[in-house]
Chains A and B, each alone.
Chain A
Amino acid sequence: MNCDEARLILPEYLSESLSQAQDLAFASHLASCDACRAETERLGSLWRGLALLPGTLPEPGAQVRDRFYESLAAYRHGLESARGGWREKLSLLWPRQPAWQMAISFALLVLGVGLGYELRPAKQEVQPDVAQLRGEVSNMRQMVALSLMQQQSAGERLRGVNWAYRVESSDTEVLSALLDTVNNDPSVNVRESAVEALHRFGSSPVTRTAIVQSIRKQTSPLVQIALIDLLVDLKVSDAAPELNKLVSDDTIDSSVRDRAKWALGKILQ
């Protein structure tokens, strides 16, 4: 390998994407060429520095996400309205002669004014398309919550949990994702926040049973206490047997047992 060939693959060497054979050839060239070795060291330092630069850049504002979901909802709405294809069907019935076109237009105008007057509503009601748009926005919120809860960064998952407050309390997909987060998320902060968000879904028997079952699965006393507090807030009287077991279980953290004892008193009041 000569110097020109070495220069051509220098960035690949720095990003460790050379094949084993190329890597060996490059290394053996460096061993015999002071100039290329010095250049590789200098550019290597800048190359590593470049990887750190994104950390110096700002993050996009929160409104970027809101604007995107609003646009997507509006686009979906428009798409579904257009799928009806009523315009195409109507255009087939439209006559070619201008005289007929004018006559039909006038007749439709008179009919429209008459019908509009007869059928005018007593009060303003929510238009069906507005209701549909609201439904779309609700779906979008569900999607944001679900997508964010799947992210690698704990900060993002935390944001996903916070989005769970914006969905309908009957949303079983988000409930299921929250329960999964409570039981399996590696971050204690995220698990604790998910427990808080479950409050909103407290009327569902699924939630109440899952909270009781989750206490023993937890490794962090903080999350266990948060779950016990949630049982008290939701007045889950069915939890008494499990709380009794926790109180008398020596393997459980003492602060959790104390909280379980306090909770028993509250629930059975």
Chain B
Amino acid sequence: MNVNATDNALMASVGAGEVQKLAVLFERHHRGLFRYFVSMNRNRELSEDLVQDVFFRMLRYRASYDAQQSFTAWMYQIARNASVDSAQKRRGEVMCIDEFTDHKADPAAGPEESAVRSQDLKLLRQALDRLPADKREILVLSRFQGMKYEELAAVLGCEVGTVKVRVYRAMRALEQAYLIISGEKTA
């Protein structure tokens, strides 16, 4: 099996019936998907279930994949749908929100610098969590998953120009949230 093939070529093969090749895509993307879900819902268990759901949906809808289309954009469209469906099913349930604070210190930084950076990142994390879901999502997709504006436009179903405006607005909102949280901490 060629494990170096591109994502698009692998998914096209899965669509043509070589479903075992989904394993390579799983190895490449399940962590990124998990990070996306956990950033959006802050729940590890639910995020793990959603990762399974996305790969199962890829199998179910494999025939609909168009190899000309970005695989990453297609996968995150499925991920968003899975997330929406799951939220509808869980409507009314009380969700357990996990705390993730185990940031690994940068070995290149000194202890003081590392502590300051760790504290800054904690505030930034909290600021990101306070953003409305649409703003948080666009920052997670562009910054955590490294998506380009064209891919973001395909995932979010809008024009590239709109994506640019939305990323800028999300950054401004993040700055506001960060300043408010920093003020709360020092007050």
Contact = CB atoms under 8 A, between A and B. Distances in A.
Interface in B24-76: 24, 26-27, 30-31, 34-35, 38-39, 44, 47-48, 51-52, 55-56, 59
B175 A64 contact: no
A143 B164 contact: no
Interface string B103-130: 1100000000000010011101100100
A12 B23 contact: no
B178 to A, nearest CB: 6
A8 B23 CA distance: 39
A58 B38 contact: yes
A42 interface: yes
A53 B52 contact: no
A143 B124 contact: no
B165 interface: yes
A11 interface: yes
B124 A46 contact: yes
Contacts of B56: 71
Contacts of B26: 65, 68, 72
B125 A147 contact: no
A46 B174 contact: yes
A121 interface: no
Interface in B125-161: 125, 128, 139, 142-144, 148-149
A42 B176 CA distance: 11
A155 to B, nearest CB: 11
Q: Which of A7, A143, A148 has the most CB of B within 10 A?
A: A143
Q: Which of B98, B117, B171 has the most CB of A within 10 A?
A: B171
Contact of A56 (B4, B59, B121): B121
B20 A140 contact: yes
B142 to A, nearest CB: 7
A46 B175 contact: yes
Q: What's the interface size class on A, roughly? A: 35 or more
B101 interface: yes
Instruction: Give the interface SS of chain B, mostly helix, strand, loop or mixed.
Output: helix
A60 B47 contact: yes
Q: Which of A55, A60, A147, A150 has the most CB of B within 10 A?
A: A60
A67 B49 CA distance: 10
A140 B23 contact: yes
A44 B52 CA distance: 35
Contact of A8 (B27, B30, B122, B165): B165
A59 B31 contact: yes
Interface in A127-167: 139-140, 143-144, 146-148, 150-151, 156
Contacts of A51: 143
B175 A53 contact: no
Interface in A14-72: 15, 17, 42-43, 46-47, 49-61, 63-65, 67-69, 71-72
Interface of A: 7-12, 15, 17, 42-43, 46-47, 49-61, 63-65, 67-69, 71-72, 75-76, 79, 139-140, 143-144, 146-148, 150-151, 156
17 contacts: A15-B142, A43-B172, A46-B171, A53-B121, A53-B143, A54-B144, A56-B121, A57-B100, A58-B38, A58-B44, A61-B44, A71-B56, A72-B19, A72-B20, A75-B59, A144-B27, A147-B27
Interface of B: 1, 3-4, 17, 19-20, 22-24, 26-27, 30-31, 34-35, 38-39, 44, 47-48, 51-52, 55-56, 59, 98, 100-104, 117, 120-122, 124-125, 128, 139, 142-144, 148-149, 164-165, 167-168, 171-172, 174-175, 178
